[in-house]
Chains A and B, each alone.
Chain A
Amino acid sequence: MELYESTVHGLQTRLAAGELSAEELAEAVLERIDHVEEDIHSFVYRRLREEVLAEARAVDASRMRGDALGPLAGIPIALKDNLNTRGLPTTCASAILEGYIAPYDATVVESLAQQQAVVIGKTNMDEFAMGSSTEHSAYHPTRNPWDVGRVPGGSSGGSAAAVAAGEAIAALGSDTGGSIRQPASFCGIVGLKPTYGRVSRYGLVAFASSLDQIGPLTRDVRDAAIVLGAIAGHDRRDATSNPGEVPDYLAGIESGCRGLRLGVPRQLLGEGVAAEVRSAVLAALDLLTELGADIEECSLPTLPHALDAYYVIAPAEASSNLARYDGVRFGHRTRGSQSYREMFERTRAEGFGPEVRRRIMLGTYALSAGYYDQYYGKAQQVRTRICREFELAFERYTALVSPTAPTTAFRFGERMADPLQMYVNDICTVPVNLAGLPAISLPCGFHDGLPIGLQIIGRPMDEATILTLAHAYEQAADLGRRRPPLSRVPMGNDREE
């Protein structure tokens, strides 16, 4: 196996044993990026080669000195471009943040730096994380490594494509309505959305603050557990951060799923789910049953309304959060205005792309006088019903299982004409954000060479159980060795200079 397609845990063993240096690893990944990036376009910003190698050498020096190193030391990691990263551009793939250099680090970026992970660049996304295909980036689309004629999913499409294509060993993304899990599903990798509050949102550019959560995109479940362990925990700078202890997510990961009772919400496997996705998920359920899980169909009757509630609540919160882009303090400003008001309006009309403007309009309308109760108030009541239905389900079940997305990756342009066609991608993922629950997506099969994702939803703060279940399935299904059909490059140690 090539270095650039290895796992965090596999590489860490070799780094610790001295069989491999962080510099060699960084070289291999940089070379891979040079080789495939022009086909994939995962990144909106790549750090200078020399900076990356210098950081990697510092990790090697630290290891030579005998310092105690964490599991991410020397691991090349990519960051979604909505994570503030000091000294680097942080654009959210929006023209309105063009030229903005983050003056501080997000807490998760700080955590990675403390662990001596090596940040290699910032990844492409749908502008301000609004979208499900990465086509809404102001810069360029990212292509799916499994079929470059198709989207990688979104909004963390750049992070998912980078990991799938070997351009990073792991990546961070953010998930407001499925933005980690759906691209992970489309790109055949693992994506984890932690419980709301498990990972600090400080320094994550806000989209919908009651739904946003940062999480890992990785090659396997064990890596997701490792990266989650590195970024989870209480942070006084995020008032919604959970003060609970962070467990060792690897401790019980081998314990299997024997005797666990799992529910399959029928509302997430019905109308709108493609036949091939449905049959892959049913096969996965059979395998979980063979592994000893006790599986039943269940019903959460309000789930079909989750998408409607989400497309009121998320735009409403976004319209408020995005009010800060006023052309005054940072980012783009449209020149030549006669008044402050004119500058403000023209800056936003020019700086935001069509989908972001659409959602700001929608959210502003839903919050405006006379419509608040009808839209926002009603959506938040429906949300409470959905939360209660999940609570009730979790009295009986340890976890819930569903498809991650109703289809495999679609073609460029296929869903751009009609916003509703794009939104229905999120039917299986948005209920999880509304209820603040943890959920993981992992590959459960292929159709016409395109990956299909399985979603496992857990109780609040019980990431450990969904990781254990996902790990048991992954080991038994043994799909993890399959890699996208991209051209291969030689091992990273024959350098070009």
Chain B
Amino acid sequence: MLTKEQVRQVAALARVRASDDELTGYVAELGRILDHVARLQEVDTEGMPPTSRALEQRGILREDMPQVPLLRETVLANAPDERHGMFLVPRVVEE
């Protein structure tokens, strides 16, 4: 059973702010989905490796060649906030 405390931790890990009501909603909704996917436990997967890629592929490494990246101003044009050619964010280190 999923608890509200677990859901609170998941929301913190996922960096999604959620109100108390939203957390309660998630307990029910995610709980129902998890109950459904729990049926996976019925499948015998003894000795079955996990899929790392659906289809086998070889020789897909590219040559390591220098390339021209996007211009700084092109990238910064999409930034919500910028200063001196850098992304501007609120204080990261708490006082």
Contact residues of A with B, CB < 8 Å?
Answer: 99-101, 103-104, 195-197, 210, 236, 239-243, 302, 305, 308-309, 311-312, 319, 323, 326-333, 337-346, 348-349, 352, 357-358, 360-362, 364-365, 368, 374-375, 377-385, 387, 419-420, 434-436, 460
Contacts and interface: CB of A to CB of B under 8 A. Distances in A.
Contact of B55 (A236, A345, A385, A460): A460
Contacts of A348: 14-17
A329 B14 contact: no
Given A196-B54, A387-B51, A420-B32, A361 B62 contact: no
A361 B37 contact: no
Contact of A380 (B30, B39, B50, B87): B50
A99 B81 CA distance: 13
Contacts of B30: 358, 361-362, 365
Nearest to A244: B57
B77 A101 contact: yes
Contact of A329 (B18, B60, B87): B87
Contacts of B59: 243
Contacts of B10: 361, 364-365, 368
B33 to A, nearest CB: 6
A380 B26 CA distance: 25
A282 to B, nearest CB: 28
Contacts of B26: 358, 361
Contacts of A357: 16, 18
Interface of B: 6-7, 9-11, 13-18, 26, 29-30, 32-34, 36-37, 39-43, 45, 48-55, 57, 59-63, 70, 74-75, 77-81, 87, 89-92, 94
- B contact face: mostly helix, strand, loop, or mixed: loop
Contact of A312 (B40, B45, B81): B40
B16 A349 contact: yes
A239 B60 contact: yes
B33 A197 contact: no
Nearest to A101: B78
A7 B74 CA distance: 38
B55 to A, nearest CB: 4
B7 to A, nearest CB: 7
A378 B92 CA distance: 37
B39 A361 contact: no
B36 A308 contact: yes
Given A361-B11, A377-B50, A387-B54, A240 B75 contact: no
A151 B43 CA distance: 34
Contacts of A326: 15
> Which secondary structure dominates chain A's binding surface?
helix
B15 A383 contact: no
24 contacts: A104-B70, A197-B55, A236-B63, A240-B57, A243-B60, A305-B43, A328-B79, A329-B75, A331-B80, A338-B90, A342-B90, A344-B15, A345-B16, A349-B16, A358-B30, A364-B14, A365-B6, A380-B51, A381-B50, A381-B51, A382-B40, A382-B43, A384-B45, A419-B29
Contacts of A333: 80-81
Nearest to B6: A365
Of A242, A302, A342, A380, the most chain B CB neighbours within 10 A belong to: A380
A385 B87 CA distance: 46
Q: Which 7 A-B pairs have the closest CB atoms?
A: A436-B54, A380-B50, A333-B80, A381-B45, A330-B78, A345-B17, A349-B17
A281 to B, nearest CB: 26
Given A236-B62, A331-B80, A381 B17 contact: no
B64 to A, nearest CB: 11
Contacts of B45: 378, 381-382, 384-385
Contacts of B91: 338-340
A340 B90 contact: yes
Nearest to A341: B15
Nearest to A383: B51
A103 B15 contact: no
Given A311-B36, A380-B50, 17 more contacts: A103-B77, A103-B78, A305-B39, A309-B37, A328-B79, A328-B80, A328-B87, A339-B91, A344-B15, A345-B15, A345-B16, A349-B16, A365-B6, A381-B48, A387-B54, A434-B54, A435-B54
Given A311-B33, A358-B30, A368-B13, A210 B90 contact: no
A308 B37 contact: yes
B60 A302 contact: no
Contacts of A338: 90-91
Contacts of A331: 78, 80
Contacts of A374: 41
B40 A330 contact: no
A263 to B, nearest CB: 19
Contacts of A434: 51, 54
B78 A328 contact: no
B7 A361 contact: yes
Nearest to B52: A380
B89 A343 contact: yes
A103 B69 CA distance: 11
B49 A384 contact: yes
B23 to A, nearest CB: 10
Contacts of B11: 361
